[in-house]
Amino acid sequence: MRGTVVSSAALPFDIAPILGAVEYRAPATGSFDRAALLAALGDADALICLLTVAVDEALLEAAPGLRVVANFAVGYDNVDVAAATRRGVAVANTPGALTEATADFTFALLLGAARRLAEGDRLVRSGAWTGWAPGQHLGADVFGAELGLIGFGRIGQAVARRARGFSMTVRYTNGSGAVAPADQAHGAVRVELDELLARSDVVSLHCPLTPATRHIIDAAALAAMKPGAVLVNTARGACVDEAALVAALDRGHLGAAGLDVFEHEPAVPAPLRACARVLLAPHAGSATTTARRRMAETCARAVRAALDGRAPETVVNPEIYQT
């Protein structure tokens, strides 16, 4: 297999043994800016890209020989899949590579937000802590709480498995409207969104970003949640109306929130940063060495398969291989 592979960003893992005999272009550090990336793609056969890269008509036009886009993420809302399909370009992602890491991180945010860990950390660091007091930093119970999952794919199901250890009641809703085959194994029950919001002590998002899920948590959804409930988002920032979330927290309707993603990241609105009851993380759900290495290797295997004329195992538009 020969060809030219471009990575939009420097990867901290050696994928050369998987790629084989290709020319590999990547920035020495950081990421290519848009102009440099388009220039590098002029004669490229494959692109490995981060979710911050818009794979749109302009990029595809700049890379007429492109055969595959391997997105270094599970979600691929940054890729115009229809445009890629029209051009015969395979699009692949990294499902499974980061499932357990992201589920772990979801529970870290859930526990941290419910028990106000960031606030406690700031208090101790400030030197203003005066010692234990019965009413200090009271949070919400997690053990035995009711958990609502918006989205019940690999990550949602992994979160449900962890919830069993906390004796949580788990309900979920998904875009397809179908009952997930694994729901009984995880002790989860499918409900409609309005019931999930009304009954859950914790609502956690695990859905892809689509027109239907953009701002699925808006002012009306937040008002429908239990007073004192906790919201966790490790999916996509635009699934939550951030201004409405701040308003719900400021008026005391919600107890707390734990957010790993933001609508216009890395920009985070000042009111959200100033809100004491929000635990903020820098899109770190998959940030373990094991998960990120698996993501890099999954992308490399997808590139190699496509350049060999095979459909990558993680292809999201397999129709281009149908004859």
**pLDDT, tens only, 68-110:** 999 999 999 999 999 999 999 999 999 999 999 999 999 999 9
Stretch 265-288: mean pLDDT = 97
Instruction: Quote the pLDDT of residue 172.
Output: 97
Give the other-Cβ count within 10 Å of 306's Cβ.
Answer: 27
* pTM (predicted TM-score): 0.94
pLDDT category at 315 given cuts 50, 70, 90 is: very high
**Are both 87 and 106 inside the same structural domain?**
no
Share of the chain above pLDDT 70, in %: 96
Lookup: tokens for 97 = 């590579």
Distance CA 72, CA 93 (A): 6
What residue numbers bound the domain in which 36 lies? Answer: 4-95+289-321
DSSP per-residue letters across 44-98: -SEEEE-TTS-B-HHHHHH-TT--EEEESSS--TTB-HHHHHHTT-EEE--TTTS
**Are both 110 and 247 inside the same structural domain?**
yes
Q: Which range among 103-112, 173-182, 272-281 shows the weakest confidence by mean pLDDT?
A: 173-182
Mean pLDDT of the chain: 95
From the list 34, 283, 293, 297, the catalytic residue is 283
Instruction: Quote the pLDDT of residue 1.
Output: 58
**Are both 129 and 226 inside the same structural domain?**
yes
Bridge partners (DSSP) of residue 246 are: none
Stretch 5-13: mean pLDDT = 97
Distance CA 241, CA 298 (A): 32
8 A C-beta contact, residue 1 and residue 21: yes
8 A C-beta contact, residue 95 and residue 244: no
Question: Is 171 in the active site?
Answer: no
Distance CA 148, CA 231 (A): 10
Question: Is 206 in the active site?
Answer: no
From the list 146, 195, 265, 297, the catalytic residue is 265
Instruction: Quote the pLDDT of residue 187.
Output: 82
Distance CA 152, CA 160 (A): 9
Distance CA 82, CA 91 (A): 10
Instruction: Quote the pLDDT of residue 175.
Output: 74
Q: Could you give the angle at which helices 117-126 and 99-114 cross, rounded to 10 degrees? A: 60
Stretch 16-34: mean pLDDT = 96
Evaluate the CA torsion angle 152, 242, 124, 132 in order and state its sign: negative
Q: CATH no. for residue 103?
A: 3.40.50.720
User: Per the structure, how many domains does the chain have?
Assistant: 2
Strands 230-233 and 169-173: unpaired
**Are both 135 and 67 inside the same structural domain?**
no
8 A C-beta contact, residue 244 and residue 275: no
**Are both 235 and 293 inside the same structural domain?**
no
**Are both 192 and 268 inside the same structural domain?**
yes
Distance CA 213, CA 238 (A): 8
Distance CA 292, CA 314 (A): 16
Share of the chain above pLDDT 90, in %: 94
**Are both 32 and 123 inside the same structural domain?**
no
Question: Is 265 in the active site?
Answer: yes
**Torsion of Cα atoms, 34 then 40 then 42 then 43, to 10°:** -150
**Are both 34 and 137 inside the same structural domain?**
no
From the list 236, 277, 294, 304, the catalytic residue is 236
**Are both 36 and 151 inside the same structural domain?**
no
**pLDDT, tens only, 130-176:** 999 999 999 999 999 999 999 999 999 999 999 999 999 999 998 76
